[in-house]
Amino acid sequence: MSLLYPSFLWALFALATPIVIHLFNFRKTIRVYFSNTRFLKQVKEETTQKRKLKQYLVLASRLLFLFFLVMAFAQPFLPAREEIVNQQRVVIYLDNSFSMATPIEEKTRALDEAVRRAQNIVDLFPASTRIQLITNEFSPFSNSFKSRTEVTDLLAQVKLSAISRSAAEIINRIREKQLPVFWLSDFQKSTFGEVNKIDASAQIHLIPLVLEKFQNVFVDSIYLANPFTIGGEKNTIKIRLQNAGNKKVEGLIVKLSINSVQAASTSIAISPNGFTEVPFDIAAGLKGNNQAVVSFSDFPISFDNEFYFTLNYTSKLNVLEIKTSSQSTYIEKCFGNKDLFTFSSFNTSNLNYSLLANADLIVVNGVDRIEDDLATAINSYQKDFGAMLLIPGLQPDVASYKKLLPLPLEKNSALEIASLDMPDFLNPFFANVFEDKNSSMAMPQAKGLIGWGDDRSAILKFKNNRPFLSQFGKTFILASPLDKSFTDFFSNALFVPVMYRIAASGKKAEQPLYYSLTSSTIIIPSDSAISEASVRLVGNQEFIPSQRKINGRILLDLPKYALSAGFYKVTNKKDTIGLIAFDADKKESILLQMSGDEVKAALGGKANISIFEANSGETFGTELKERYLGKPLWKYAILLALAFLLVEVLLIRFLK
């Protein structure tokens, strides 16, 4: 035990006062005259021993009262268990990610409790201490050390942030490694990450906030059942939901809204730590940029109850045809819809090879011989960009075709007209093409001018299982020229949807339905109509990100951690050229925590890392003071002084 003000111990000389009074009690004897001594028999005799015992007890009570009163002023305390070497500058890291919205004890948000504990730490140090407050945003205010008053004001302004930080990022952010660091966090396993062992000179004080155990439903992913749609065709959106809790969720209403209008809803159940997939049909007819939101009510963890994504039907597919004749072809007629396609046709003799990079689909139509220069240009295009469809000429040079397709191509000598077999309706290539899957539908006929052996996965086959249309990656090959003497495929109902599917598979500038807030780069398709003015992102905030144009695309470098969840329009001057959606990282929704010991072990497990075990705000304040200030005992001294004063009164009053 130590004393905060030991000079008050001089007051213990006051203990001599009651002793002197006790020893030199010169109270005069009072003489009592009696007229009759017969009443003396009724007086109870009091022995000298009893009288002295009472006096000693009263004396002891007075001495102890004065002793503990003096000790109260001297302020005794138990020494601190730990010592902060540098009390002039201190670092506080406060985790304010979305997971800190989870309740802890007594329905208090973890963030609110973390702010209170941070304030306790601020109040612990002298007024001269400079404090650095760091939150997940790594805001400019965290670059410098501030006074206690300034840090108190900053703590009052701390809000939840969509930004998650790994342990490595936090440690790297603390520039001066030897300062004491108080680390307040829920220490999620999903976001903690790998970290190098910290220096032994660092003083890390871990303050875990233990979250209440709740189930939490969030959107794991969203995808289209058929990603090859063009325009506003009918499709199905599939939503994969996850329950990150250990309780089953039943009767959860999931809603899909498109352009602020509810399009569908359903009720689901998800087992503990399980997944479920919810399909919603998207009606045909959607045009332009569409904002879609999946929402549900999952209390009390609600920061991930909405998920944003886009359904964009504004981009056109760029189709380039390479041919040998000057006449209009069936390919040109097929892709003549200017709302969906940008079509261009070139003769092999005047083709500008630089145009290939802008195409989503190249159709080599009716070219008998593939020259080396053309083969080199197309192979280079296919390596980095879109799709190619090879339609043979009337007199094909099969050897030259092998420059584009490393297949066992051969020219058929026996040409017989034959009907095509029914397509495989289960093939994803034909998803949403047929409303009625009728086995009696009219199929085209053709003469197979070239062949490439057996292909069980061919898109279309003859009845003898020889392939008519096959796909190899993003390369498609047709067995017959599009000529009346070889096939009527171009006049069959299958022709247009098959060509559209081939074009859709070459979407090289296909945008994801959504981006994560952690994304660093996004790609926006562009065309020649876009001016040289900077592209802007306009939503909850407005940004002009770093950008560059490459091969008909705009690459935007996002300002990391500056965006918030929601929709952003991509604008160029006054024109809207795209719509994108951002969502919080799903790692934040997985609330599994690391224990203090696990965090300490991950950071190196050395003695310079301490852990606070307090589970409530009150016990934390007590533990904080006991660790670094010691345990004060003056309150107990005052209570004992009052107790002995009461004992003295009781002795005088009741002990006869």
pTM for the full model? Answer: 0.72
Question: Is the pLDDT confidence value at 506 over 70?
Answer: yes
Q: Any alpha helices (H) in 319-368, and if so which ranges?
A: 330-334
Residue 529: which pLDDT band, with cuts at 50, 70 and 90? low
Torsion of CA 491, 494, 497, 502, to 10 degrees: -100
- Taken in order 61, 65, 67, 68, the sign of the CA dihedral is positive
Identical fold for domains 89-213+591-629 and 317-504, yes or no, is yes
**Cα separation, 456 vs 100, whole angstroms:** 54
**Cα separation, 18 vs 586, whole angstroms:** 74
Residue 108: which pLDDT band, with cuts at 50, 70 and 90? confident
Residue 538 near residue 525, CB atoms below 8 Å: no
**What is the structure's pLDDT at 492?**
93
Decide if domain 89-213+591-629 falls under CATH 3.40.30.10: no
Report the pLDDT averaged over residues 501-526: 81
Pairing of strands 180-185, 89-94: parallel
User: Considering just the CA atoms, what is the radius of gyration of the chain in Å?
Assistant: 42
**Cα separation, 205 vs 121, whole angstroms:** 11
In degrees and rounded to multiples of 5, residue 126 shows phi and psi of -65, 165
**From residue 421, how far is each of 105, 432, 461 by CA, in Å?**
68, 19, 6
Question: Is the pLDDT confidence value at 278 over 90?
Answer: yes
Pairing of strands 76-78, 89-94: unpaired
Encode pLDDT of 145-154 as tens digits.
999 999 999 9
Question: Is the pLDDT confidence value at 251 over 80?
Answer: yes
The residue with tokens 């404090």 is: 131
Which of 563, 382, 578, 400 has the alpha carbon at shortest distance from 476?
382
**From residue 535, how far is each of 99, 508, 572 by CA, in Å?**
33, 20, 5
Could you state, in order of their start, the residue ranges of all structural domains in the chain? 2-79+633-654, 89-213+591-629, 317-504, 515-583
Residue 234: which pLDDT band, with cuts at 50, 70 and 90? confident
Q: What is the mean pLDDT of the chain?
A: 85
Encode pLDDT of 305-340 as tens digits.
999 999 988 677 889 999 998 889 999 999 988 888
Residues in the chain: 656
Which of 229, 219, 215 has the alpha carbon at shortest distance from 278?
219
Question: Which tokens in the block code for residue 1?
Answer: 């035990």
Report the pLDDT averaged over residues 298-308: 90
Question: Is the pLDDT confidence value at 403 over 70?
Answer: yes
H/E element, 149: helix 148-155
Residue 449 near residue 396, CB atoms below 8 Å: yes
**Cα separation, 178 vs 400, whole angstroms:** 70
Encode pLDDT of 591-610 as tens digits.
899 999 999 998 888 888 88
Q: Between 260 and 656, name the one with better pLDDT.
A: 260
Residue 26: which pLDDT band, with cuts at 50, 70 and 90? very low
- N- to C-terminal Cα separation, the chain: 40
Residue 217 near residue 243, CB atoms below 8 Å: yes
The residue with tokens 């247009």 is: 496
**Cα separation, 323 vs 594, whole angstroms:** 64
The residue with tokens 């020649």 is: 528
Maximum Cα interatomic distance, the chain, rounded to a whole number of Å: 162
**What is the structure's pLDDT at 631?**
66
Q: Any alpha helices (H) in 292-354, and if so which ranges?
A: 330-334
The 10 Å Cβ neighbour count of residue 451 is: 19
The CATH T-level fold of domain 317-504 is: Rossmann fold (3.40.50)
**What is the structure's pLDDT at 436?**
64
